[in-house]
Structure 1
Amino acid sequence: MDIALPDEGGRITRYTVVGQPVRPDIGARFSRIAYAAAHVVADPFEMTDPWSRPVVDWDRTMAFRHHLWRLGFRIAEAMDTSQRGMGFDWTSARELIRRSIAESRTVEGADLASGVGTDHLEPASVQSLHDVIAAYEEQFAFIEGEGGKAIMMASRALAAVAKGPDDYARVYDRMLSQASGKVILHWLGDMFDPALKGYWGSDDFETALDTVVAIIERHANKVEGIKISLLDAGKEVALRNRLPDGVVMFTGDDFNYPELIAGDGKRHSHALLGIFDAIAPVANAALAKLAEGDQAVYDALMAPTVPLSRKIFETPTEYYKAGIVFMAWLNGHQDHFAMVGGMQSARGIRHYAEIFRLADQAGLLADPDLAISRMKSLCAVAGV
């Protein structure tokens, strides 16, 4: 099987499809906590105003969550992978969280945690830390009221009004002290969201590290763990080595996740990753092998997913969601390649062609015939 695809130089070449999908290990138990940050499926037939009014296909969106649960993953709901802050507003996120929590109760062993943020604030209305705290409190109250677990997302509003580390400490101390259950914290780098530059009150990593570690130490009984997404393995290890006992590290490093999850023999990271949405079948098989103590097979399965992930998350990184949804479309989890906010237009045909090649080489085209047919249709629209 082969297909004409544009290469990185814009030339049209023939690519021969390997066509050997990796089969997941259904029912496998993992030795790492593995959250997949899940995308939402848009409804293209109802999106008469796709840039300003998100419309979700709830049936397909919930079906994808069942796909992830079936493969043994927990779900990180309504995170940046769902386009929070990039076309998907808090009103839509509330409904997504409500539905997902209810759906999880129908599945034995299903687990999820949901993103708490401040994204319902109008940027011009944010005047003080009080505004930020009130916004966090509103979203915490909703998720906890639904019986859910909270992931305290980084806040653009806090980054805009905070004058230094003490302001971050004030907000996080307040929220963690009154949380009803354990919370997962989220350190998202400015490569994912430029508005978060200088988070924790400093552009200097060591200073920011001291701030976040001090917050966690004060509230270790309320912090389940922290996800760090800086795309720098050394920085993650530095934080991991300073976490108090009982607080876990969740890697959010979509460039270096295999070695961080495997660990260094003394410590390892658990995972809360957007890329798991796209590579779930292979990640399932690899994590099952790691749990059996077979790191060689784990490494062999994970290695081909890294070039794919690096391509999906290439600069400008915040548009990685397009590659995630593209993979879902190729693999038949949705019937169209349309996204909330029309975000599929954020990447070009050469980008998608390379994702296709790398997905095939990683064993991630579940039905190669379907994937080829859909890739041909996308190429035709692009004039290939």
Structure 2
Amino acid sequence: MTTLRLLSASGELSDAALNDAGAYTRPTSALRSRVAYAAAHVVPVVSGDNTPGRPADIDWDATLAFRRNVYSWGLGVADAMDTAQRNMGLDAAATRELIARSAEVAREEGGSVVVGVNTDHVDETHISLQQVVDAYLSQLEFTEQQGAGPVLMASRHLARVAESADDYRRVYRAVLDRATTPVVLHWLGTAFDPELEGYFGASDWQTASEVLLDIINENPAKISGVKMSLLNAASEISVRERLPEGVRMFTGDDFNYVSLIGDSQVGARSHSDALLGAFAAITPVASAAIQALDAGDDGGYRRILGPTEELSRQIFAAPTFYYKTGVAFLSWLNGHQPAFQMVGGLHSARSLPHLSRIVELANASLALENPELARERWHGMLTLNGLDA
């Protein structure tokens, strides 16, 4: 029996049986029952100066190959969002290049791509509401020129300057008025970015959701969907049930996605679609689960995807904004990048015991695409850190 060496929080080593890879196959036609995007990360140049504060030096071949792999499993790509380290190592120039390159790959592969539109290219920390609008419009225009779908991300600049819910209505109204293609609105919770406290004008989701729904109901033709990343299933279901016809709910809840996506009651608002960083970590498993839904096999969907939720909760454990480290770690274990490195040096953001638990849960949920390679790389990492693997 081949075993995996694991490391506990107390420093004790133990062994677990290494499972075979999941028997998953790429779809031969488009996925039908759900719209699903994997929020993809970026891969740095191994020899680059990707230390904290330095401009991102990206390995474009590996970064774009990862996106091609996502498309091969039938999922779309959500790019240049928080999984790609927006505001955590991905600078403005790299963001623009990533959007342009990712949109080109989507055209080549016949895949669907949406990308983040924000105000984060502005260096000043405090700007006026009109400057927030102008910053959004600058990125929106560039995104539309590339042919990518826009995702209006929550803006730190807006969170700082807004004095009331009406300020949010004003900014979103002005930006949506200029959009030439329908956009996805992104409500990112404070677990992902503490600087977004009070977004949409209130700290409690019930009050803030009324503002969000006001914005949507005023502009239904300009909005294709909403991505909610509050890690609160009740808030997502509440908003989902009140969305106007034609506006999708994209779950960004990496803690509760199995039930939110799998809800099967009759009706257009009976389930959430997916726009998840977790799906970048478990792409083949996510694809297989949605293929099961396509075949009418709800039990198969839950059997395949259910075990991954504990893995995702580990990846997204507090402090949640360091979840990108787990996504990149699994990318390395699964052979999608040559080294476990991240721009901004963010690969150092999680401890060895934390990563060991990811290995354990990925093995248990059949998320290791090449178990022998993953074992070799993980054991080598333990040895490098002075532990007997």
Q: TM-score when scaled to structure 1?
A: 0.97
Q: How far is 1:138 from its partner?
A: 0.8
| Distance (whole Å) between structure 2 residues aligned to residue 101 and residue 6 of structure 1 | 40
Greater mean alpha carbon deviation, residues 253-262 or residues 373-382: 373-382
The match for 2:69 is: 67
Q: How far is 1:183 from its partner?
A: 0.4
The match for 1:372 is: 375
- In structure 2, stretches of 5+ residues that fail to align are none
Q: 2:318 aligns with which of 310, 315, 320?
A: 315
Which contiguous aligned blocks of 4+ residues in structure 1 show a shift greater than 3 angstroms?
A: 48-51
The match for 1:247 is: 247
| Distance (whole Å) between structure 1 residues aligned to residue 359 and residue 53 of structure 2 | 26
The match for 2:171 is: 171
Mapping of residues 74-85 of structure 1, within 5 Å: 74-85=76-87
Mapping of residues 47-66 of structure 1, within 5 Å: 47=49, 49=51, 51-66=53-68
| Distance (whole Å) between structure 2 residues aligned to residue 49 and residue 299 of structure 1 | 40
Counterpart amino acid of residue 327 in structure 1: L
| Distance (whole Å) between structure 1 residues aligned to residue 50 and residue 91 of structure 2 | 17
After superposition, the Cα gap between the structure-2 partners of 1:196 and 1:48, relative to the gap in structure 1 and judged at 3 Å, is: closer
The match for 1:333 is: 336
Q: How far is 1:10 from its partner?
A: 2.3
The match for 2:260 is: 260
Deviations 1:41-63 (A, max 9, x none): 11121226554221000011110
Counterpart amino acid of residue 57 in structure 1: D
Mapping of residues 1-384 of structure 1, within 5 Å: 1-28=2-29, 29-47=31-49, 49=51, 51-107=53-109, 109-124=110-125, 126-266=126-266, 267-384=270-387
Q: TM-score when scaled to structure 2?
A: 0.96
Greater mean alpha carbon deviation, residues 137-146 or residues 187-196: 137-146
- In structure 1, stretches of 5+ residues that fail to align are none
| Distance (whole Å) between structure 2 residues aligned to residue 189 and residue 381 of structure 1 | 36
After superposition, the Cα gap between the structure-2 partners of 1:269 and 1:49, relative to the gap in structure 1 and judged at 3 Å, is: closer
Deviations 1:193-243 (A, max 9, x none): 001111001112111011000000000001000000011111100000110
After superposition, the Cα gap between the structure-2 partners of 1:246 and 1:102, relative to the gap in structure 1 and judged at 3 Å, is: same
Asked whether the 8 Å contact 2:64–2:105 carries over to 1, the reply is: yes
Asked whether the 8 Å contact 1:22–1:281 carries over to 2, the reply is: no
After superposition, the Cα gap between the structure-2 partners of 1:151 and 1:177, relative to the gap in structure 1 and judged at 3 Å, is: same
| Distance (whole Å) between structure 1 residues aligned to residue 287 and residue 145 of structure 2 | 32
Deviations 1:127-174 (A, max 9, x none): 310111111011011111222211000001100110010000000001
Partner of 2:337: helix, strand, or coil?
coil
Q: How far is 1:357 from its partner?
A: 0.7
Asked whether the 8 Å contact 2:340–2:347 carries over to 1, the reply is: yes
Counterpart amino acid of residue 199 in structure 2: Y
Asked whether the 8 Å contact 2:40–2:67 carries over to 1, the reply is: yes
Asked whether the 8 Å contact 1:188–1:228 carries over to 2, the reply is: yes
After superposition, the Cα gap between the structure-2 partners of 1:264 and 1:294, relative to the gap in structure 1 and judged at 3 Å, is: closer
Instruction: Report the aligned-residue RMSD.
Output: 1.2
Partner of 2:24: helix, strand, or coil?
coil
Identity, % of aligned pairs? 44
Asked whether the 8 Å contact 1:21–1:360 carries over to 2, the reply is: no
Asked whether the 8 Å contact 1:3–1:372 carries over to 2, the reply is: yes
| Distance (whole Å) between structure 2 residues aligned to residue 53 and residue 112 of structure 1 | 24
Counterpart amino acid of residue 9 in structure 1: S
Partner of 1:106: helix, strand, or coil?
helix
Asked whether the 8 Å contact 1:51–1:340 carries over to 2, the reply is: no
